[in-house]
Each structure stands twice: as C-alpha cells, then as structure tokens.
Amino acid sequence: MVSNYVDLIIMRHHLEGAARYASEVTDIPIINAGDGANQHPSQTMLDLYSIQKTQGKLTDLNITMVGDLKYGRTVHSLLMAMKYFNPTFRFVACEELRMPREYIEFCKKQGIPYEEHSDFSREVIDSSDIIYMTRVQRERFSDIMEYERVKDLYTLRNSMLDTSRNNLRILHPLPRVNEIATDVDDNPKAYYFEQARNGLFARQALICNALGLEVGK
C-alpha cells in the first residue's frame, strides 16, 4: 500500500532483515535506516565520509570500537564496509557485549587483523587512528539489572586522550549516554557532532542516487 503513494521508502524496523524483505515485495527503492541489531548502511556512508575527511584516507587505519558491540548495528555495518581498505580493528567490550561471532568470522575470512579487549587501556587509545564509541542500548536488554551492570563500564574522558595520536578522531553515532564525558566535547579530537552533520550530506546523496537524480557539481 505504501509503495502506491511514494517514490521512495526509508525504513527503520526493529526486526533484522525487514528492509531486505520489503525490497523483495515492492518495485520502488528501499533505503535501510536500521534493522534491529543487524545493519545501518546510511550511518556507514556518513562514517566513511567522516573518516575520509579527518584522516585524508580510508586505508591502513587502526580502528577501535568500544562499548555495545553485540547489538550496535552501526559497528557491524562499518566493520563490513571497511573490508576494502585494509583496516586493523580493536574490539573493546565486556563479555556480554562482545562482537558477535559472525563478525569475528568475517574478519578471519577477509584476512582483517583484529584484537579483542575487555580493558579500554591507554595502550589501545594511543595506538588508534579512530575510536568509535557506542552507547549500551537499554532497549535491547530483557533483564534491566544486566543493563545496569554493564551500562557504564566504558567511559572516555578528556584526560585519557593526553598522549593519543595527533590524527586521532572520536566518532559516535549518537545519541550518547555516559560513554563520552562532556569534557571531551571541546577537544579537537572529538568529531561526533561534525559526524552527525555529515549525515545530512551522505543521506541527501543516497536519496538522490535512489531516485536517479543528478546533482550539479
């Protein structure tokens, strides 16, 4: 019914695979705006754009992902997209929220170097080009006590960046809770607000592409 009235559907759904299924039952374009804990491809496009803008390249970067790596669809999408650019990943999470096995196997199959850590150490921070923070998603937990136990395990504070690389940039898909202290906001290595703005441009480009619109240079 919806496809009778529109030229494009932008779909966010709580079930994994919902957008793919929708694309199989309609002839109009579907843009996946996030399906459960699975993928978030439009976020990945703006993340790639943000990394390119801040690093001047996408290749040969050390990318550290921190926090909710189990349910965080943004890190799942970015990990898969980066397979073309020879990354090295560090996954920092507690046991309950570690990167799912299917994405670990993906790294192995693609020959992508990775390390798993439970400690968000200075060594990890100081060897990173990109730190991608994520919030622990309360809505994914059936047990509220489990959420309360893990929600504040990893918090990035300004003092933790004192000896980090000059090119380091902090990314976050937003909104944040407590995983980035507000004293980080004024650090020139904090890029998450600019990252959010980049989403406007990336998603405009996706919509134009889906509709077959050519935008003048």
For the CA atoms of 171, 176, 182, 186, the dihedral, rounded to the nearest 10 degrees, stands at 30
Q: What is the pLDDT of residue 15?
A: 83
CA distance linking residue 12 with residue 40, whole number of Å = 9
Higher pLDDT, 139 or 207: 207
Residue 21 has pLDDT above 80, yes or no: yes
Burial of 33 (0-12, 13-18, 19+ CB in 10 A): middle
Residue 217 has pLDDT above 60, yes or no: no
Q: 10 Cβ partners below 8 Å, 6+ apart?
A: 31, 33, 207
CA distance linking residue 12 with residue 18, whole number of Å = 8
Mean pLDDT of all residues in the chain?
90
Residue 147 has pLDDT above 80, yes or no: no
Q: What is the pLDDT of residue 151?
A: 66
DSSP states along 119-145: S--HHHHHT-SEEEE----GGG-S-HH
Q: What is the pLDDT of residue 105?
A: 97
Q: What is the pLDDT of residue 92?
A: 97
DSSP states along 34-98: EETTTB-HHHHHHHHHHHHHHHS-SSS-EEEEES-TTT-HHHHHHHHHGGGG--EEEEE--GGGP
In the chain, the amino acid numbered 212 is G
CA distance linking residue 98 with residue 18, whole number of Å = 24
Q: What is the pLDDT of residue 69?
A: 93
Tokens 């650090």 label which residue? 187
Q: Distances from the Cα of 71 to the Cαs of 35, 46, 138, in angstroms?
A: 11, 20, 10
CA distance linking residue 29 with residue 22, whole number of Å = 10
Q: What is the pLDDT of residue 45?
A: 93
Q: How far is CA 105 from the centre of its chain?
A: 19
H or E stretch covering 170:
strand 169-171
Q: 29 Cβ partners below 8 Å, 6+ apart?
A: 7, 8, 9, 210, 211
Residue 37 has pLDDT above 80, yes or no: no
Percent of the chain having pLDDT more than 90?
Answer: 64
Give per-residue pLDDT as tens, 80-106. 999 999 999 999 999 889 999 999 999
> How many residues does this entry show for the chain?
217
Residue 140 has pLDDT above 90, yes or no: no
In the chain, the amino acid numbered 65 is M
Residue 32 has pLDDT above 90, yes or no: no
Give per-residue pLDDT as tens, 155-208. 999 999 999 999 999 999 999 988 999 999 999 999 999 999 999 999 999 899
Across 1-5, 74-78, 86-90, which has the greatest mean pLDDT? 86-90
Q: What is the pLDDT of residue 139?
A: 60
